[in-house]
A and B are shown apart, each in its own frame.
Chain A
Amino acid sequence: MSESFISIRDLHFSRGKRQIFSGVSLDIPAGKITAIMGPSGTGKTTLLRLVGGQLKPSQGSLSVQGLQIPELNRKQLYQARKRMGMLFQSGALLTDLSVFENIAFPIREHFDFPESMIRDIVLMKLELVGLRGARGLMPAELSGGMARRVALARAIVLDPVLMMYDEPFTGLDPVTLGTIVSLIRELNESLGLTSVVVSHDIHETFSIADHVCILAEGKVAAAGSPEELLNSDSAFVQQFVQGKPDGPMPFHYPAPDFSQDLMQGADSQC
């Protein structure tokens, strides 16, 4: 594995009483696409938020290019974020701004560029995602796939070195899905990015990822290249990659015995 861009060691994090991570350690190599996968509720998005400094771990270290993210002060963190881009699952476009203004937003906030330069940068990014013609539309007029492509253009407008994608393949039609998959690959190669893709879509993710980490029960359950994981002997990995209903990965959220639960009657609602 090449030099690690993000290094996570013994990371612990909990929400209220629920322990999300209990000692996660992983390395994300520079210049590659790393997929963070796992069943729903295992903290994949939480991991991205920890990398972006939006959440703080209760224990452990997390460094991006050698910078200890949880130890940065507000100013240092904002400086570090200028080199990160994040594609949110919902797109998170600013609803009161047009497509053009959404993409121009980070430039206007951080730089005092002339209008002609802002226009050129925005049009270049829109051309990359194939939506130059939609620059005048408002977010409410976009389909889900278009909104995600606009959000992608906005995420790369400051030329980040790290791109994080939160469930980029969810709820897309096959054509848009294929476009997003190839865009992630192309952007990573043409812009020399390090990409982290959080997803549970096996087929699409394995087609573009160089390295895959599977999270389960607060830890890294398996890691390796897509081929290594597809050929893994682990029953857990096989159940996950093949989507089998039976196996070591529980389908049910922890609950008391079903028959006892039914016998308790209506008095006990929960």
Chain B
Amino acid sequence: MLDTLQRIGAFTLDTLSSLGRASLFLVQVIAGIKSTLLRPRLLLRELYSVGVLSLLIIIFSAIFVGMVLSLLGYVTLVDFGAESSLGVLVSLSLIRELGPVLSALLFSGRAGSALTAEIGLMKATEQLASMEMMAVDPIHRIVTPRFLAGCISLPLLSVIFMSLGIYAGYLVGSVWLGVDEGSFWSQMQSKVEFGYDVINGVIKSMVFAFVVTWIAVFQGYNAMPTSEGVSRATTNSVVYSALAVLALDFILTAIMFVK
């Protein structure tokens, strides 16, 4: 009994201490934003490696998710003669939920894990320590540009995911299954509000971007400087990001869409 209590106490203390360190780390990262913005080349390079290189997986996933959503939606709606609402079903599902959540999960697997491994390996090979000795702050020089790039890229990738998913849904629903093209788009136009659905969807993805990138860079910077430590940090980065995205998604959905 005492052992269990002791373990719970140790776990709680450990978790709180990690949260504290992650918060202090975030403050240092944010303090470097000004110097990063003054050197746009650093940011552009990271935007390419974090954002542009994630495009392929986002595009493919969006197309297949949109097609499956349209196909399953049609099969269900056609029984009730409501297939003209297919456009609304596909677009609201993608804009409110699947676009932000799936792109965040894919992003954490593609870019987040890469960020963690890169920063962790730089730590293990003493590159970060050597920067410190050259009087260059590794957080401002290495971490902040990557953090900013993640925060900018993911919302844009989410918007691409939503748009492509809807278009793929249209191709399957209207072009293949024969749902009337006019009702597919007009119902979507009348039911989807830009200021409510789209903006809330984008806000969701901005929150996910912040959290996923924060977790990724912190796990890398905090990794044990060994191959096992970097491997564990990379796994933790993906697992914690997925859990945080799913938990935050529930909270944000409850706040945004439950009237």
Residues of A near any B CB (own CB < 8 A) = 52, 54, 78-79, 81-82, 84-86, 88-90, 92-95, 105-106, 109-110, 151, 154, 158
25 pairs from A and B in contact (CB 8 Å cutoff): A52-B132, A54-B132, A54-B133, A79-B135, A81-B132, A81-B134, A81-B135, A82-B135, A85-B133, A88-B130, A89-B126, A90-B126, A92-B126, A92-B129, A92-B130, A93-B130, A94-B127, A94-B130, A94-B131, A95-B127, A106-B135, A110-B135, A110-B136, A151-B130, A158-B134
Question: Apart from A86-B130, A93-B127, what 18 extra A-B contacts exist at CB < 8 Å?
Answer: A52-B133, A78-B135, A78-B137, A81-B132, A81-B135, A82-B135, A84-B133, A88-B129, A90-B126, A92-B127, A92-B130, A93-B130, A94-B131, A105-B136, A106-B134, A106-B136, A109-B135, A110-B135
Please report which residues of chain B, range 90-137, place their CB below 8 angstroms from some CB of chain A when the two chains form the complex.
125-127, 129-137
Which of B126, B135, B136 gathers most chain A CB within 10 Å? B135
Q: Which B residues, 127 to 165, have Cβ-Cβ distances below 8 Å to chain A? A: 127, 129-137, 141
> Interface 1/0s, chain B 54-92, versus A by CB < 8 A?
000000000000000000000000000000000000000
> Which residues of B have CB within 8 Å of A95?
125, 127
Verify B125–A92 contact, CB threshold 8 A.
yes
Q: Could you say which residues of chain A place their CB within 8 Å of the CB of B135?
A: 78-79, 81-82, 106, 109-110
Closest to B132 in A: A54
CB pair B126–A105 under 8 Å, yes or no, is: no
Please give the number of chain B residues whose Cβ is less than 8 angstroms from any Cβ of chain A in the complex: 13
Least Cβ–Cβ distance between B27 and chain A, in angstroms: 13
Which B residues form the contact surface with A (CB < 8 A)? Answer: 125-127, 129-137, 141
| Smallest CB gap from B137: residue in A | A78
* Residue in A89, A92, A110 whose Cβ sees the most chain B Cβ within 10 Å: A92
A95 to B127, CA, bound (A): 8
CB distance from A94 to the nearest CB of B (A): 6
Chain A residues lying within 8 Å of B130, measured Cβ to Cβ, are 86, 88, 92-94, 151
Q: Which residues of chain A have C-beta atoms less than 8 A from B134's C-beta?
A: 81, 105-106, 109, 154, 158
Q: In the docked arrangement, what's the CA distance between A94 and B136, Å?
A: 13
Q: Is the CB of A109 within 8 A of B129?
A: no
Residues in B whose Cβ lies below 8 Å from that of A54: 129, 132-133
Contact partners of A52 in chain B: CB under 8 A:
132-133
Chain A residues near B141 (CB-CB < 8 A): 109
8 closest cross-chain pairs (CB), A and B? A92-B130, A92-B126, A81-B135, A78-B135, A86-B133, A106-B134, A82-B135, A109-B136
Whose C-beta in chain B lies nearest to the C-beta of A105? B134
Q: How far is the CA of A90 from the CA of B130 in the complex (A)?
A: 10
For residue B131, which residues in chain A have a CB less than 8 angstroms away from its CB? 94
Which residues of chain A are within 8 angstroms of B132 by Cβ–Cβ distance? 52, 54, 81
Query: Which residue of chain A lies nearest to B128 when distances are taken between CB atoms in the complex?
Result: A92
Note all chain B residues with C-beta closer than 8 A to A81.
Answer: 132-135
Residues of A within 8 A of B136 (CB): 105-106, 109-110
Closest Cβ–Cβ distance, residue B135 to chain A (whole Å): 4
Return chain A residues, CB-CB under 8 Å to B125: 90, 92, 95
- A94, B128: Cα distance in complex, Å: 9
What residue of chain B has the Cβ atom nearest to residue A52's Cβ?
A: B133
Q: Bound state CA distance, A28 and B183, in angstroms? A: 84
Residues from chain B with a CB closer than 8 A to the CB of A154 are 134
- Closest partner residue, chain B, to A107 (CB atom): B134
C-alpha spacing A32/B72, complex, angstroms:
79
The closest CB in chain B to the CB of A77 belongs to B135
- Distance between A112 CB and nearest chain B CB, rounded to angstroms: 12
Q: Give the distance to chain B from A55, nearest Cβ to Cβ, in Å.
A: 11
In the assembled complex, the Cα of A90 lies from the Cα of B225 at a distance in Å of 13
Report the minimum CB–CB distance from A208 to chain B (whole Å): 22
A89–B126 alpha-carbon span in the complex (Å): 9
Which residue from chain A places its CB closest to the CB of B118 in the assembled complex?
A96
**Bound form: Cα–Cα A54–B138 in Å:** 13
Question: In the complex, what distance in Å separates the CA atom of A115 from the CA atom of B125?
Answer: 29
In angstroms, how far is the closest chain A Cβ from the Cβ of B193? 45
Residues of chain A within 8 A of B126, CB atoms compared: 88-90, 92
- In Å, the complex CA distance between A106 and B132 comes to 11
- Alpha-carbon distance between A82 and B134 when the two chains are bound, in angstroms: 6
Smallest Cβ distance from A35 to chain B, in angstroms? Answer: 20
Return the chain A residue nearest B45 by Cβ.
A96
With both beta carbons as reference points, the residue of chain B lying nearest to A109 in the complex is identified as B136
Bound form: Cα–Cα A111–B129 in Å: 21
Bound-complex Cα distance A109 to B38 (A): 13
Q: For B134, give the chain A residue with the smallest CB separation.
A: A106
Q: What is the bound-complex CA distance between A110 and B136, given in angstroms?
A: 8
Residues on the B chain within 8 Å of A151, using CB: 130
